[in-house]
Amino acid sequence: MHPLTFITLSKNGESSDELRDALAGSGRTHLLADCHSFEQMLGDITRLRPSAAIITVSPDNSEKEFALIKQLAAVSPETAVICAARDASPALILGSMRSGAREFIQLPILPDEFRGVIDRIVELRADGESSSKNHGRIVAVFSGKGGAGVSFFGTNLAAAMGVPTLLVDLNLQAGDAASFLGIDVKYSVADFVNNRARLDDSLMSSLVTPHSPNLTLLAAPLEAHEAEDIKPQDVSEILHLLRGRPRSGR
């Protein structure tokens, strides 16, 4: 089973760290983005379509937070909204649920309670599991040292697949998949990162390079220095987006 993907929103550093640590320790979850504004969360959920979103709410700002929950339910109904608060008054909990939240977490987080929330989100996602069958599958090829033939093997594996396949060259400083395939590329992983705030299927299709009817390439950065600006979270986000593209597009 693929891990549940999460996006969080907290304007409090302590709460943000607590949520991040709880998700990292779960073993069943993966944090896609940690947002710090309503606009960022709305944009990231629209693009990334995570399994769930955790929003810290407070009595002082509850009306705006309830409005955000309603917006999220409209743009991504498959994303389960979870609210969290230190001051979990009955009015705050009830208002969150009426706005569309599926769960409510009391901060500081209690491990047993958090596991229960994750269990219920897993059950909720299982109801829509048939739709996830249209998602792509990610196959990673790597080696513990250079010169072992990983690029050669990975490129040939991608070319031998009998279904539409996208080869992503993540040898960021010295990728050579384009050379193995004998194609010239104009765009790379760096272009995905630089445009990640507006990536949709049309833009993603324009940034990959076709090789054959069943094989396209997302090349490594064209200049070695471009790799310095690519963070692990950027790669995770890109792979998540690519996996969710229509099957005919891979």
Q: Give the range among 102-116, 169-183, 227-241 with minimum mean pLDDT.
A: 227-241
Walk me through the domains of the chain, giving residue ranges and CATH numbers.
4-132 (3.40.50.2300), 150-249 (3.40.50.300)
Provide mean pLDDT across the span 74-79.
89
Question: pLDDT digits over 202-248, tens only?
Answer: 888 999 999 998 899 999 999 989 998 898 888 888 888 888 775 54
Q: Provide the pLDDT for residue 51.
A: 94
Which range has highest mean pLDDT (19-23, 72-76, 235-239)? 19-23
Contact (Cβ atoms closer than 8 angstroms) between residue 145 and residue 171: no
Does 22 have pLDDT greater than 90?
A: yes
Q: What is the pLDDT of residue 139?
A: 85
Please state the rounded mean pLDDT for residues 99-126: 92
101-137 burial by CB neighbour count: b if 16+ within 10 A, else e? bbbbbebebeeeebeebbeebeebbeeeeeeeeebbe
**Is the pLDDT assigned to residue 21 strictly greater than 50?**
yes
SS3 state at 74:
helix
Parallel, antiparallel or unpaired: strands 103-106 and 80-85: parallel
Helices (H) and strands (E) in the chain, counts: 11, 8
Query: Do the Cβ atoms of 22 and 112 come closer than 8 Å?
Result: no
**Rg (the chain; Cα; Å):** 20
Note whether 20 and 8 are within 8 A (CB).
Answer: yes
